[in-house]
Amino acid sequence: MHRQNYDLIVFDWDGTLMDSTAAITGAIQQACVDLGLAVPSREQASYVIGLGLEDALRHAAPELPHADYPRLAAAYRKHYFALDGQLVLFDGALELLHELKSVGYNLAIATGKSRIGLSRAMDRPELRGLFDTTRTADETFSKPHPAMLHEIMAELASPPRRTVMVGDTTHDLQMARNAECDAIAVSYGAHDIAQLQSLSPVGLVHSVTELQGFLQQRG
């Protein structure tokens, strides 16, 4: 792999690197059951993946009074944390990250997870030292606001034209557009292909292997 077009590759976490879409969707649905709310469909629940938790729950349970969102968030965390220790990275993701790092890319994470949630997910020896910086939704504005990307680019001194965002949701792609960065969509996560294509990413890939091939071509 040779570096050409980009210096900085920013990854979303859930549904892009970690195979967690089903767990998040199920936890949202179960949290709604716990509170006696209308249960969103799998499509409705998966649509909110990538947003900050409060924004996500507001979309998933719009009838809930604002004051009750902490109860729903607590129920969501209970169900999700019961599963998160079993979640794994997508096949080939770890190898791809190590390869990108070995040829000199700066790597970062921009996620709708909380800092506590991301720290739990990344507490794996094989991930240590791979990422130059990370941003979570409870530290800055939630996607699709460009703040996460702006802060990452500023910290790592990478201009938008040398930065690419890799994500599985329209929230990721819209954030990249708002930050004037390229975006690569992966179709194996939360949002369907038509939704992703509507935001005209520079690439649309269907597996980690295809992502690796695309980055080799684009550099």
Catalytic residue list: 12, 14
Sign of CA dihedral 91, 176, 174, 67: positive
Query: In DSSP terms, which residues pair with 106 in a beta bridge?
Result: 8
CB 175 within 8 A of CB 143: yes
Structural tokens at position 111: 């996620």
Number of other CB atoms surrounding residue 136 within 10 Å: 21
Residues 130 and 108: their CA atoms lie apart, in Å, by 8
Tokens of 75: 């129920």
Nearest of 193, 17, 7, 5 to residue 89 by alpha carbon: 17
